[in-house]
């Protein structure tokens, strides 16, 4: 994927998330679609945390030669603590962090997109692949969040 497309998508996806969350009250944000599943609020906090993790990973890849990176294990996240998070603060921090990531990536040279890391699951893992993984992971959650928002809208109209 072209770097300009990825940068635009990084910006668009955070705006899409903001649109999904717009106008919802805390009870709606906290309602999981099923027992044991994440609520919209928990997913939003998860996406913000994931952005931080990928930004740190990408910065390592841009500053060190072939740094070792670990698999990001969502199973280690404290999803219960996400329920208590101040979503406005989380989103403000997410938006600022995403802007910094976009700014950083917009300043790198074309060959920097090929800078690699030693990843335990991929033979060739570079900055471009890391950004693509972030975008795909986020898009996956945004799709589910959009479905949850639509269900909330239908539920609230009853």
pLDDT at 157 over 90: no
- Residue with the two structure tokens 């990084």: 10
Boundaries of every domain in the chain? 3-156
pLDDT at 1 over 90: no
Do the Cβ atoms of 55 and 63 come closer than 8 Å? no
Q: What is the predicted pLDDT for the residue at 158?
A: 47
CB within 8 Å of 105: residues ≥ 6 apart: 3, 6, 7, 10, 58, 127, 131
pTM: 0.93
CB under 8 A, 24+ apart: contacts of 63-69? 66/116, 66/117, 66/118, 67/117, 67/118, 68/117, 68/118, 69/117, 69/118, 69/119, 69/125
Rounded to an integer, the average pLDDT of 116-128 is 96
Pick the CATH number of 3-156 from 1.10.1660.10, 3.30.470.20, 3.40.718.10, 1.20.120.450: 1.20.120.450
Q: What is the pLDDT of residues 48-81, one digit of tens each?
A: 999 999 999 999 999 999 999 998 877 778 888 9
């Amino acid at each position: 994927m072209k770097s300009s497309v990825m940068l635009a998508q990084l910006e668009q996806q955070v705006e899409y998330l903001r649109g999904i969350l717009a106008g919802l009250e805390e009870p709606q944000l906290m309602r999981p679609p099923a027992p044991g599943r994440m609520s919209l609020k928990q997913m939003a906090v998860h996406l913000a945390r994931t952005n931080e993790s990928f930004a740190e990973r990408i910065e390592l890849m841009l500053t060190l030669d072939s740094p070792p990176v670990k698999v990001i294990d969502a199973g280690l996240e404290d999803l219960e603590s996400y329920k208590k998070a101040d979503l406005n603060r989380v989103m403000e921090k997410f938006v600022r962090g995403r802007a910094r990531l976009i700014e950083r990536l917009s300043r790198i040279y074309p060959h920097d997109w090929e800078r690699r890391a030693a990843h335990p699951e991929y033979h060739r893992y570079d900055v471009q692949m890391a950004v693509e993984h972030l975008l795909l992971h986020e898009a996956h959650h945004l799709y589910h969040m959009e479905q949850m928002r639509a269900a909330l809208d239908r539920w609230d109209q009853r």
